[in-house]
Amino acid sequence: MTNPRVRKIADRIQVTVAEMLERRIKDPRLGFVTVTDVRVSGDTQHASIFYTVFGEEEQVAASAAALESAKGLIRSEVGKQLGTRHVPTLEFIHDALPENARHLEELLEKVRESDAQVAAAAAGATYAGDADPYRKPHVEDDEDE
């Protein structure tokens, strides 16, 4: 479980960075960036900022370069907003979770289609032998004793 103070700092950094990207950073390379998560080290010296970019691989690369060049400006604003003695170093990490989720959804859809084909093929099928192929022990009545 994370320290509540560290979680509060991470939340404040996430809001500050998102507002900066939306309002103050005017880099044309910056695409449609969404800050998905911020993780701050226990000593609050380092912040990892996870983000996604809507678009193709070129937009992802251009946005990464824009974030790297704006890192100083963003860090100074984070320092003003936090009001702490030490401002954490910022590291921007492209969050691959949405792409992985999309890939998993595609795989699940293929499996659903395959299951539907198997179910359709098995719809009119009958057992090769008896419906219950297991032998049952002969049960005698208890009245004989």
Q: What domains, with CATH codes, occur in the chain? A: 4-95 (3.30.300.20)
- Interacting residues of 93 by C-beta distance below 8 A, sequence separation 6+: 48, 49, 50, 51
Nearest-angstrom CA–CA distance, 144 and 116: 53
Q: Which is nearest to 60 in space by CA: 98, 23, 18, 101? A: 98
Distance of CA 8 to the CA centre of its chain: 21
Nearest-angstrom CA–CA distance, 90 and 12: 13
129 pLDDT tier (thresholds 50, 70, 90):
confident
> Residue 110 pLDDT > 70, yes or no?
yes
142 pLDDT tier (thresholds 50, 70, 90):
low
pLDDT score at 101: 78
pLDDT, average across residues 9-37: 87
> Residue 144 pLDDT > 60, yes or no?
no
For residues 49 and 94, is the Cβ–Cβ distance under 8 A? no
pLDDT score at 140: 66
Q: Is the dihedral of CA 49, 71, 91, 80 positive or negative?
A: negative
DSSP secondary structure letters along 55-104: S-HHHHHHHHHHHHHTHHHHHHHHHHHH--SSPPEEEEEE--HHHHHHHH
Nearest-angstrom CA–CA distance, 14 and 67: 14
The tokens describing 30, both together, are 């910056």
